[in-house]
Structure 1
Amino acid sequence: MKKSIIIILALGFLTCEEKKTASTANLDEKKEVAEQKTERNLKPDGTPYSDKELENMGHTESMALLYEVPTDTLKTIGIFVYDGFFTMDALGPLSVLNSMYPTKKLLIGREKGIITSSDNIKIEVDYGIEDIDQLDMLVIPGGFIQTYQATKDQELLDWIRKIDQNSKYTVSVCTGAWILGAAGLLEGKKATTHWYRAEEKLAQYGATFVKERYTNDGKYWTSAGVSAGIDMGLAIVDKILGRNYAEFIALNLEYDPQPPFESGHPDKADRVVTIMTEKMFDEGLKPYIEK
């Protein structure tokens, strides 16, 4: 009995220590962010602007404060869409990247015409892959069955490789990394993708799985599942146009996720939900893998 009480107390102590450690880490992170904000946007004399000074600032001066010198110039961003793509995989990053001016954004289908997403949303695209020979950024969203099928589409993979030869950024969202991997573009790279068999799938294409919301290795940017494409989009804008403009986009979108419960990743979801979801994915893919 005494031994049981000691074990329970020890476990309670460890749990408290873990919570304390996590809490301390969160406080350190918030402190670091606060310090970064303090160091940014200072007047030439090194002092911060007052609210009144900012409110009375003219348009030209305001824009000069918001826009930093770009680290790169992008003329075209192409998002490849195909029947069965996850809507947010494409439209999430697009909602962020749309604010990059004067960059032209193109939705590109396997062929031009009507594309139907996994949510049965129909989008009319003006360009097929035969119409596009060059892009500064190519974005490949994910899906499920049709994404797996796209990994076997040699004509599509040839086009992706052709675009990649001259692109400045080649990007995937969610299982879109399967398509980049099948094109041979992630070999020897660090990458992420949707959590479903992520390490196994990326290893199949010679990539090293990184369990992060997004990651980049050279010009290759990859994100985890669906909503993570927004995080990645903001990180790309931050890199090219600076933190002020990236924060402007996040604020404009009111991107401040606070889900009612923590289950957006297998590390947080109930094991029953995780196992049943993985089983459902396995059963869905099985007939196509067997073919």
Structure 2
Amino acid sequence: MNDALHIGFLLFPQVTQLDLTGPAQMLARVPGAQVHLLWKSLDPVPTDVGFTINPTTTFADAPQLDVLCVPGGFGIEHRLDDEATLAFLRRQGAHAKYVTSVCNGALLLGAAGLLRGYRSACHWMWRDLLPLFGAVRVDQRIVRDRNRISGGGVTAGIDFGLALAAELAGDEVAKLLQLAFEYDPQPPFDCGSPETAGQERVARLRTLQADTIARVRRKIESAHAATAL
């Protein structure tokens, strides 16, 4: 009898690697966990910082997942209309026990139709786009709505991973993992959220990313317009 707990992370070009590797580090240590890094082929996949990550399992060979997790990154722009990826998410999401995301990976779940009517977290710069998919934007680091669990931006994926580990294996296992990885954040600056960073700094970062976010918004709105025809 195979009692493996199949946990699958979507891996795609220009993924933000910490969105994936942060929670994967935690969840891989859950008793019985078998982690799959999923892509169309087994070719190395470039991350947003230049190095590559090797997929372990193709879409075609993936087992039915107990946990489906979609990380984020600038690469989502090219996945929002990638039917092979969206079809895989729909297929797995229909039967997974948990359908989850980190950062703007929530937008890919939305594009696959898996967030309509659900509350969701997202990176603060991207969360205004959630309602375009019928999701309910929630400005929290971790959000759970039924079997949907989502984390906010990037480092929130570590908190998300611990919360999901507790869901899967109990609080004590998650606490042991937190201790084992010495996860005791003490950042040198109090600047990790729009609320603490100050309006000028927030505006500067929004300006840097404005073109990308605008392109993604147009792509989402165009897809909705085409569907409505």
TM above 0.5, one fold?
Answer: yes
SS of residue matched to 2:54: strand
| d(CA) in 1 for partners of 2:59, 2:210 | 30
Amino acid at match of 1:163: Q
Confirm or deny that 1:279 pairs with 2:214: no
Amino acid at match of 1:245: V
- 1:169 is matched with which residue? 98
- 1:194 is matched with which residue? 123
Check the 8 A contact 1:133/1:162 in 2, yes or no.
Answer: no
Confirm or deny that 1:147 pairs with 2:109: no
SS of residue matched to 2:60: helix
Check the 8 A contact 2:30/2:173 in 1, yes or no.
Answer: no
Of 86, 109, 124, the residue aligned with 1:157 is 86
SS of residue matched to 2:197: coil
| d(CA) in 2 for partners of 1:160, 1:287 | 23
| d(CA) in 2 for partners of 1:207, 1:156 | 20
- 1:125 is matched with which residue? 55
CA offset digits 1:243-278 (Å, max 9, x no partner): 211110000111111111111111110222110111
Give 5+ residue unaligned stretches, structure 2: 220-229
> What count of residue pairs does the alignment treat as equivalent?
217
| d(CA) in 2 for partners of 1:217, 1:288 | 25
- 1:69 is matched with which residue? none
Check the 8 A contact 1:180/1:186 in 2, yes or no.
Answer: yes
CA RMSD of aligned residues (A): 1.6
Of 99, 103, 111, the residue aligned with 1:182 is 111
Pairwise CA distance, 1:168: 0.6
Which structure is richer in relative contact order (CA contacts within 8 A, separation 6 or more)? Answer: 2
Identity of aligned residues (%): 31
Check the 8 A contact 2:65/2:96 in 1, yes or no.
Answer: yes
- 1:203 is matched with which residue? 131
Q: 1:288–1:171: structure 2 CA closer, same or farther, 3 Å change rule?
A: closer
Check the 8 A contact 2:66/2:98 in 1, yes or no.
Answer: yes
| d(CA) in 1 for partners of 2:216, 2:149 | 28
Amino acid at match of 1:137: V
| d(CA) in 2 for partners of 1:239, 1:74 | 16
Q: 1:286–1:187: structure 2 CA closer, same or farther, 3 Å change rule?
A: closer
Of 148, 154, 163, the residue aligned with 1:220 is 148
Confirm or deny that 1:76 pairs with 2:76: no
Give 5+ residue unaligned stretches, structure 1: 1-72
| d(CA) in 2 for partners of 1:114, 1:101 | 28
Matches within 5 A, 1:1-291: 75-144=5-74, 146-198=75-127, 200-286=128-214
Q: 1:219–1:74: structure 2 CA closer, same or farther, 3 Å change rule?
A: farther
Pairwise CA distance, 1:216: 1.0
Pairwise CA distance, 1:110: 2.8
TM-score (structure 1 length as normaliser): 0.71
Amino acid at match of 1:189: Y
| d(CA) in 2 for partners of 1:274, 1:282 | 12
Pairwise CA distance, 1:290: 6.0
Pairwise CA distance, 1:232: 0.9
| d(CA) in 2 for partners of 1:127, 1:247 | 30
Q: 1:288–1:192: structure 2 CA closer, same or farther, 3 Å change rule?
A: closer
Check the 8 A contact 1:74/1:136 in 2, yes or no.
Answer: no
Pairwise CA distance, 1:133: 4.7
